[in-house]
Amino acid sequence: MQIQGITAFVTGGASGLGAATARKLVERGAHVAIYDLPRSKGAELAKELGDAALFVPGDVTDESQVAAALDEAIGAFGPLRALVNCAGIGSAARTVGKDAAPFPLDVFVRTIQVNLIGTFNVIRLAAARMVGNEPLRDGERGAIVNTASIAAFDGQIGQAAYSASKGGVVGLTLPVARDLARHGIRVCTIAPGLFRTPLLMGLPEPALEALGKSIPFPSRLGDPAEYAALAAHILENPMLNGEVIRLDGALRMAPQ
């Protein structure tokens, strides 16, 4: 599909990968609804991006909030053609800690709830609205881009919850693409490596530099704009469907 003139919904759109994607899509002529928590900087980003952007606050795990936000976006900008799911949280704990304490179950549940169930919640509600769109070239009605992580494949010590949540996003990509194929809706997932996002930026600069040097090439942390460029290409390329794409500079993470 052509990005110019479409309506896009970006979850986790107030910062990191989501904010870069919102900027890229507006730059390419789309109207973008930025969906993020009320305490986020979504309103500031929408103001920066001007009339082409709208901030709609909410939680990806809340069905009524997501549905209302999607309808607000459609009411403001027209039929929904694109969804980019960037909302997510991190967690770190060993299955059994050094003090023999088991992994806190509430942390595991919350990570799955936001990263996996939240992603699917938005997919199903957005797709239900896309199916009524007038078909474009090749019968396409919409496209969905999800965010996993290379932790889905190379999970490190302490990443059981995070890796499981992102592995679930990888696992749903093909079956959901097959589910939605008859409606002309494509589904792909990007699995980023180490990027300069809020999940990492709390680390001191020497630690960030060391992480960057662990990447074969280019030997640096990824720029969120590089994620955004791939997300935009997926929206534009009609043959990208049911695929998970690693975006990681050939990084394969060690156990720790």
- Measured CA to CA, the distance from residue 22 to residue 16 in angstroms comes to 10
Given a cut of 90, whether residue 208 has pLDDT beyond it is: no
pTM: 0.96
Question: How much is the pLDDT for 215?
Answer: 95
Q: String of b and e for 121-147 (b: at least 16 CB within 10 Å)?
A: bbbebbbebbeebeeeeeebbbbbbbb
Question: How much is the pLDDT for 140?
Answer: 97
pLDDT in tens, 41-75: 999 999 999 999 999 999 999 999 999 999 999 99
Q: Which residue out of 162, 163, 197, 224 is catalytically annotated?
A: 162
For the segment 123-133, the average pLDDT, to the nearest whole number, is 98
Q: Could you confirm whether 227 is annotated as catalytic?
A: no
The residues, any chain, with a CB within 8 Å of residue 195's CB and separated by 6 or more, are 16, 17, 221, 222, 223, 224, 226, 227
The residue among 166, 183, 13 whose CA lies nearest residue 83 is 13
Asked if residue 243 lies in contact with residue 190, where contact means CB atoms within 8 angstroms, the answer is no
Question: How much is the pLDDT for 63?
Answer: 98
Among 13-27, 76-90, 203-217, 223-237, which stretch is predicted with the lowest mean pLDDT? Answer: 203-217
- What is the homologous superfamily of the domain 7-245 according to CATH? NAD(P)-binding Rossmann-like Domain (3.40.50.720)
Average pLDDT across the chain, whole number? 96
Dump the DSSP string for 208-235.
Answer: HHHHHHTSSSS-SPBPHHHHHHHHHHHH
The residue among 34, 17, 16 whose CA lies nearest residue 26 is 34
Cα-only R_g, the chain: 18
Given a cut of 90, whether residue 206 has pLDDT beyond it is: no
